[in-house]
Chain A
């Protein structure tokens, strides 16, 4: 019974440590922020429009 309790306690501790490790990793990496890569238009363009006749 004691062994079972100790095993459960150990499992809980490992799980807690894993959680904390994961949280630390999460906060460290996400603290770096994001980046966005944007390209301007290669040429001046007007709004796309197909020609059509009038009536």
Chain B
């Protein structure tokens, strides 16, 4: 089974949520030749296996799958449901702790979407940790309060953590989920981004929790993937994020959201084009047609139909990007004496050098 066939099968199944009439098309594919190992591998890689199960179940298509596969997917789904129920409990607990101290956290990403009830079944979404946003001047206070309640940073806190969009990840011995306290949603390049003020001004209350507006959820979804995760640079896809986007697009028109947002229109429109290309169910969504969107579509066709070649190109792009960003970092280190000493110390350490090259290798493999 080709990569493109597997990818489109998964996105077609996910699209059943908004296009239940795809059922016969998908039934025909399942009755034909499906390499379930490839499907499971690819959907697991993108963290959408539980969503796949729920969509097939709702469309009464599960019976067409091999029994062992049904059992496996059902098991994964069941485990994820239990996990997400726990997540919702922990979200409430964090909200309560901070609210008692007059801090209103605005939950983001998976935690926000699950709390919003956008999924037909809470088992659909795989969530890694709980992200929430607070004002910059409330960040340290939030850290202190949560530390007093048993959370502690997973790694050493760097001195310049203020440069980062969130405080280092914190964990709790008795809680399942790690937390990330954000002061920004995008790894800052300038003020030209979705910021706390914009999100705070239009937040919604859902069952006592503060959540971003649908527009901001859409913007965050797009910018997170394209900018934080370098989806724009590497022309990559992330089915979990894009599935969320597909669901959010039923709440607000993404094209209008992009039009209203002042910045990064090209990058955001590129995301819209690639998601519409992958998810056939979105093909009726409006998107301005111009040279840029046509070019993006060609690139994404190439990534889908020539994944091997695309991976090599991406490897080269990653190397160039890595060299560029390391050079920038070097420029920052050279003027200061103590940083120069630190750099030399690292360069002579064989272990550090090994880790450095390993990180480059892993980076190439991941794109």
Q: Which residues of A are interface residues toward B (Cβ below 8 A)? A: 11, 14-15, 18, 21-22, 25-26, 28-30, 32, 34-38
Contacts and interface: CB of A to CB of B under 8 A. Distances in A.
B24 A29 contact: yes
Given A26-B20, A34-B23, A18 B60 contact: no
Contacts of A15: 286
Contacts of A21: 284
A17 to B, nearest CB: 10
A11 B24 CA distance: 31
Contacts of A32: 24
B63 interface: yes
12 contacts: A14-B286, A18-B284, A21-B284, A22-B284, A28-B21, A29-B21, A29-B23, A30-B20, A30-B23, A34-B23, A34-B59, A37-B63
Interface residues on B, range: 10 to 19
A5 B210 CA distance: 36
B69 interface: no
Contact of A38 (B27, B63, B284): B63
B64 interface: yes
Contacts of A35: 27, 60
Interface of B: 19-21, 23-24, 27, 59-60, 63-64, 284, 286
Give the interface SS of chain A, mostly helix, strand, loop or mixed: helix
Nearest to B60: A34
B63 A36 contact: yes
Given A25-B21, A32-B24, A37 B64 contact: yes
B60 A36 contact: yes
8 smallest beta-carbon distances between A and B, as pairs: A29-B21, A34-B60, A18-B284, A26-B21, A36-B63, A30-B21, A25-B21, A37-B63
Contacts of A30: 20-21, 23
Nearest to A32: B24
Contacts of B284: 18, 21-22
A14 B27 CA distance: 31
A29 B63 CA distance: 20
Contacts of A28: 21
